[in-house]
Amino acid sequence: MSPGSAWMLGACGMGVGPLAIYLKGEGWEVSGWDDSTGSPMELKLADADIPLLRDPWAAGRRPGLVGRSSAVKPGHPALALAESKGARVLRRGELLAERVAERRFVAVCGSHGKTTTCGMIVAALTGAGADFGYVLGGLFRDPAMPPARASARSPWVVAEVDESDGTIGAFSPDVTVAVNLDWDHADYYRDEAALESVFRALFERTRSAVLIPAGNARLERLTAGLSVPVLRVGPEGDYRVRPVAGDLAASVLELGGSFPAAQVTVPVAGTFNRANAALALAAAHVVTGAVAPDPLGRWRGIRRRQDVLYERPGLRVLADYAHHPTEIAALLRWLRETHPGRVIVVFQPHRHTRTRQYAAEFREALTAADHALVLPVYSAGESAVEGGRSESVVAGSSHRLIEDRRALPEALDALTADAECVVAFVGAGDIERDAEAYAKRQRRVGAPAFTPDLPDLVAGRLSPDAVLRPAEPLARRTTLGLGGSARWYAEPATVDDIVVLLRACAELDLRWFVIGRGSNLLVPDDGYDGLVIHLESARWGEVTPLGDGRLRVGGGARLKELCGAAAREGLSGFEFLEGIPGTLGGSLRMNAGAMGGWIFDVVESVEWLSPQGRVRAARRDSFDALYRDCPQLHGAVVLSAVLRAAGRDDPAAIRARMEDLARRRKESQPRESSAGCVFRNPPEDKAGRLVDLAGLKGAACGGAEVSAVHANFIVNRGSASVADFLEVMRRVRAGVKERHGVELTPEIIALGREWRELL
């Protein structure tokens, strides 16, 4: 199958994301989508110029192939869309198998340790100077190492194959590296024999060699009688590896047997890590016939595998992906081997079916720790099953169930107060955020003399023209004219200023929000406990003609000023934006529109700053322009955009059309202070029409009132409070639900709050 266009669902995950990057390297036009963004994989996708699109067909692309994570189940809206477009849909494993079918493929398989071993093989082949492609199932700690790479010249590809969804049956490798095998995935396999059978079949389809750890009885049984060589790796294996020295960070290995006789140093410690490294060196030798003098010189580890997040005398905090009892036992054994003092583990079970299957084994594995705190199960989309909750893991033991994760930091503080400790956060769900939050908290607690706030972290780093001040009243910065103050308010003067502010907020766990004209925004009475960033139009609102009917517009430019500049240049197609009370940045984030036009109708490209402080730029077809939303710009700071006119016209004619649209807007919209349209239009209907038919025009509470001019506006008559505004919203929603059976969804943003909390 030659390269074409592909849409990858679940692209921010560690399985589909690297495969998307591999396809891009093969020459495919690749886009992706994920219901959950914010993953570190998102940055890797951006580096590979892979946009995240909810509907690639709407963005002008024509993907004929859709690759999906097995977590994207039938009935998912994205799958339904792909099927309606006639696209071919493959699971991640099926698609990978197709791409490597004509290659010399090294398959890494097993119940746990696949990603680490695969990464070590990549490092060993790189150290040996080999040319090859690879697809990792995670992210290297070394930021210079991408999670996937395609090679146009070499036939060799290294990747993990996954048994959890049965797609392991699609592969016929040249070389198979089996790290281990334990009974798992009871949600897919009827019994242990069924799981073993797919591994035996994989070994039988292997064309050149199967590598297994020496002494693994199950793998010995499953590889017996194969027609290809079975190469054992270990102290007594065909590839002999014996540890002769080491410390907390490295091991000296003596090589023999099929290896050239040598002693090499590898940057790993502990029995489990050394065994994985030995398999990686043997696999590299099978492919290249050589072992480099520094065979894992590029190895820095894999994210979420024994990641050290924080360290000070007496305390080390780390995170690990272990989610099977054998993995957890191996991790805790490694901690005992390499770390002095008390071992404390925070464990999040992964999947209800696995928890039910292994509750007793989890309970036993956790006894190797001095203290075990167990979080609620991460469901991974599964429904709860009897015996599959975390209560089954702690039953009859001294392990402690932490039902409310907010109580976790205090519980850990009590356990680490009077002894040298290592705290390990363990699991394959979203426990990483608990680990990072706890490590960040320790950094703050350990700071000398005082707890820093925003000015302390940005002192001397902002440009002289930047503004930062506390307790900024926000009512005067919104079109509604209501609400409290922001804890901090900033007007950056340069891109570097914004980067400094965002990174300081990340360090402090401080929320931030970019405000333009403050339309479509409700500020709660208690204000915003975070940083509000305003791109002041004098610095960020420049409109520059580029020729060929194009304008470069700053993120802080007011739409009215944009329309005026376009009219002066004789550029038509922007008139519908006249009168929308917003700035370019906010209008792109909300895909602002009026009078039948939408801002993305005139966009050629956008430049923005990611939440991590990285400047990005992309063409129009990299964005979903949805109704009142552009998902790709969530959490972004829009720096500028290039807009393209529909054509040229006499400036006087353009101004005449602007004036006509302004007149129509004045006739159809209230003049009192408002936040614009309050509710989203339901499919095939108008929110204002439903409110009007429900007899709610004029409904009021205090100084807030449903406009008599346009029923989807709630106006501030001058004395309204936020409580008044919210009460009118509740009445309108209830009235429309009672009359029409339609639940209206707010279109405006509640700053720092969720609407379900307020309504």
Look at residue 584 in the predicted model and tell me its pLDDT.
94
Q: What is the mean pLDDT of each run of 10 residues along the chain (759 residues)?
A: 88 93 96 82 86 87 92 89 94 94 94 90 93 94 90 94 86 94 75 89 95 93 94 93 82 91 86 88 94 86 81 88 86 84 93 91 93 91 86 93 90 89 90 86 65 86 95 94 95 96 86 92 92 95 93 94 93 87 90 82 92 85 82 89 94 92 84 92 92 95 95 94 96 95 94 86
For residue 332, the number of C-alpha atoms closer than 13 Å in the C-beta half-sphere is 27
Provide the 8-state DSSP code for 375.
P
| b/e 332-362 (16+ beta carbons within 10 angstroms → b) | bebbeebbeebbbbbbbbbbbbbbbbbbebb
Q: What is the 3-state secondary structure (H, E, C) of 579-621?
A: CCCCEHHHHHHCCCEECCEEHHHHEEEEEEECCCCCEEEEEHH
Provide the token pair at 663. Answer: 């007149």
Q: What is the CATH number of domain 307-444?
A: 3.90.190.20
For strands 485-491 and 467-473, give the pairing: antiparallel
Which CATH entry fits the domain spanning 538-666: 2.40.50.140, 3.10.180.10, 3.30.465.10, 3.90.550.10? 3.30.465.10
Task: Answer whether 5-92 and 307-444 agree in fold.
Answer: no
Ramachandran angles phi, psi of 521, nearest 5°: -140, 130
**Residue holding tokens 């690759």?**
67
Q: Are 701 and 727 in contact (CB under 8 A)?
A: yes
Look at residue 451 in the predicted model and tell me its pLDDT.
60
Look at residue 287 in the predicted model and tell me its pLDDT.
95
* DSSP strands (E only) in 457-527: 467-473, 485-491, 511-515, 521-522
How far apart (Å, rounded) are the C-alpha atoms in residues 583 and 678? 18
Closest alpha carbon to 178 in 218, 225, 137: 218
Look up the CATH architecture of domain 454-534: 2-Layer Sandwich (3.30)
Closest alpha carbon to 277 in 288, 293, 265, 262: 265
Q: What is the CATH number of domain 101-288?
A: 3.40.1190.10
How far apart (Å, rounded) are the C-alpha atoms in residues 595 and 122? 56
Domain ranges of the chain: 5-92, 101-288, 307-444, 454-534, 538-666, 672-758
Neighbours of 232 (CB within 10 A): 22
3-state secondary structure of 305: coil
Closest alpha carbon to 142 in 302, 19, 14, 251: 302
Q: Which helix (H) or strand (E) holds 160?
A: strand 156-160
CATH class entry, domain 672-758: alpha beta
Q: Which helix (H) or strand (E) holds 265?
A: strand 262-266
Torsional class of 483: left (φ above 0), alpha (ψ -120 to 50), beta (otherwise): left
Look at residue 614 in the predicted model and tell me its pLDDT.
83
Look at residue 293 in the predicted model and tell me its pLDDT.
87
Q: What is the CATH number of domain 5-92?
A: 3.40.50.720
**Residue holding tokens 């396809």?**
23
How far apart (Å, rounded) are the C-alpha atoms in residues 719 and 713? 16
